[in-house]
């Protein structure tokens, strides 16, 4: 088996929750027989054996015969590649957070619009409403949003004689289900929108909204910031209605 196939097998092997549980069990002991592993699952020996065979093919477990009994032990070495892969993206996220912080510093850090919403829906439901394109269209506008850092997308509203109805955006941060941030560029104005989600002790959700980076010209324009605040308050009300209907 070549190196590429081996790597793929490792990722496929750990993708299944049953196999991850088996690896966790084997990590805490020197070795375990098949019958003892089976007692931890609501499935028969044959099904557990199939999972162990996949782990064995990926070189994540090593089997040895002791009489008629087969014993299994963990071989953690192949997991190093996954650790390296995860470590790379940890660095990636840290870099993105640094960029976001720098961007907010450039925009004087203090948000120009700041709002708080309370929803009875779970944090997972609110996160879905913020990141699912079809759901977003129900309370903001039509869009081609994807919760992927670096993804460029548009919100598209009905145009009028003063505005083309297009908001150009790029995803900056996706930290499910707690933080989402993207740029918001429209009508010559470039700002940053940030949603922060917090799960309350009773299972409800607190949603905090910030929009920062309005130009000094816009800030000086009478009613401009209040107009933006009012628009987001209306969208928040629509979001509450969408969540209630789910």
Q: State the average pLDDT over residues 12-33.
A: 87
pLDDT the model gives residue 8: 46
3-class SS of residue 127 = helix
Tell whether the model's pLDDT for residue 15 goes beyond 60: yes
Greater pLDDT, 5 or 144:
144
Lowest mean pLDDT among 56-70, 76-90, 127-141, 174-188: 76-90
Residue 44: CB atoms within 10 Å: 9
pLDDT the model gives residue 1: 41
CA pair distance 10, 29, nearest whole angstrom: 21
Average pLDDT, the chain: 87
Share of the chain above pLDDT 70, in %: 87
**Domains along the chain?**
3-80 (1.10.10.10), 103-245 (3.30.530.20)
CA pair distance 173, 106, nearest whole angstrom: 17
pLDDT the model gives residue 69: 85
**Do 179 and 173 contact (CB within 8 A), yes or no?**
yes
The strand pair at 205-212 and 189-199 is best described as antiparallel
Q: State the average pLDDT over residues 132-146.
A: 97
**Do 112 and 219 contact (CB within 8 A), yes or no?**
yes
Residue with tokens 């009028």: 160
pLDDT in tens, 68-101: 888 999 988 888 877 777 666 666 666 666 666 6
Instruction: Please tell me the number of Cα atoms within 13 Å of 199 on its side-chain side.
Output: 10
Tell whether the model's pLDDT for residue 110 goes beyond 90: no
pTM of the model: 0.58
3-class SS of residue 207 = strand
Of 24, 23, 44, nearest to 35 by C-alpha is 44
Taking each helix axis from N to C end, the angle separating 17-27 and 45-57, rounded to the nearest 10 degrees, works out to: 80
Tell whether the model's pLDDT for residue 7 goes beyond 70: no
Tell whether the model's pLDDT for residue 5 goes beyond 70: no
Greater pLDDT, 170 or 16:
170
pLDDT in tens, 194-243: 999 999 999 999 999 999 989 888 888 888 899 999 999 999 999 999 99
Lowest mean pLDDT among 11-15, 143-147, 229-233: 11-15
CA pair distance 4, 25, nearest whole angstrom: 27
3-class SS of residue 181 = strand
Q: How far is CA 223 from CA 111, 194, 229, in A?
A: 16, 22, 10
Lowest mean pLDDT among 55-59, 93-97, 147-151: 93-97
CA pair distance 7, 96, nearest whole angstrom: 27
Residue with tokens 């203090």: 110
CA pair distance 15, 51, nearest whole angstrom: 11
Full DSSP string of 61-119: EEEEEETTEEEEEE--TTHHHHHHHHHHHHHHHHHHHHHHHHHHHHTTSS-SEEEEEEE
Q: State the average pLDDT over residues 126-137.
A: 97
């Amino acid at each position: 088996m070549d190196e590429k196939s081996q790597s793929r097998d490792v990722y496929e092997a750990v993708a299944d929750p049953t196999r991850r549980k088996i690896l966790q069990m084997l990590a805490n002991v020197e070795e375990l027989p098949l019958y003892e592993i089976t007692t931890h699952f609501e499935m028969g020996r044959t099904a557990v054996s199939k999972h162990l065979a996949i782990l064995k093919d990926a070189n994540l477990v090593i089997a040895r015969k002791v009489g008629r009994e087969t014993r299994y032990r963990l071989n953690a070495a192949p997991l190093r590649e996954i650790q390296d892969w995860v470590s790379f993206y940890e660095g990636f996220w840290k870099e993105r957070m640094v960029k976001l912080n720098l961007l907010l510093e450039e925009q004087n850090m203090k948000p120009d619009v700041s709002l708080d919403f309370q929803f009875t829906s779970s944090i997972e439901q609110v996160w879905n409403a913020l990141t699912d394109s079809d759901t977003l269209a129900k309370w903001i506008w039509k869009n081609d949003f994807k919760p992927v850092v670096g993804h460029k997308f548009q919100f598209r509203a009905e145009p009028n004689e003063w505005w083309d109805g297009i908001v150009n955006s790029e995803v900056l941060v996706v930290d499910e289900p707690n933080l989402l941030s993207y740029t918001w560029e429209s009508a010559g104005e470039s700002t940053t929108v940030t949603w922060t989600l917090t799960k309350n002790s009773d299972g409800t959700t607190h949603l905090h909204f910030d929009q920062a980076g309005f130009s000094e010209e816009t800030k000086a324009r009478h009613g401009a910031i209040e107009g933006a605040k009012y628009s987001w308050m209306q969208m928040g009300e629509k979001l509450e209605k969408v969540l209630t209907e789910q």
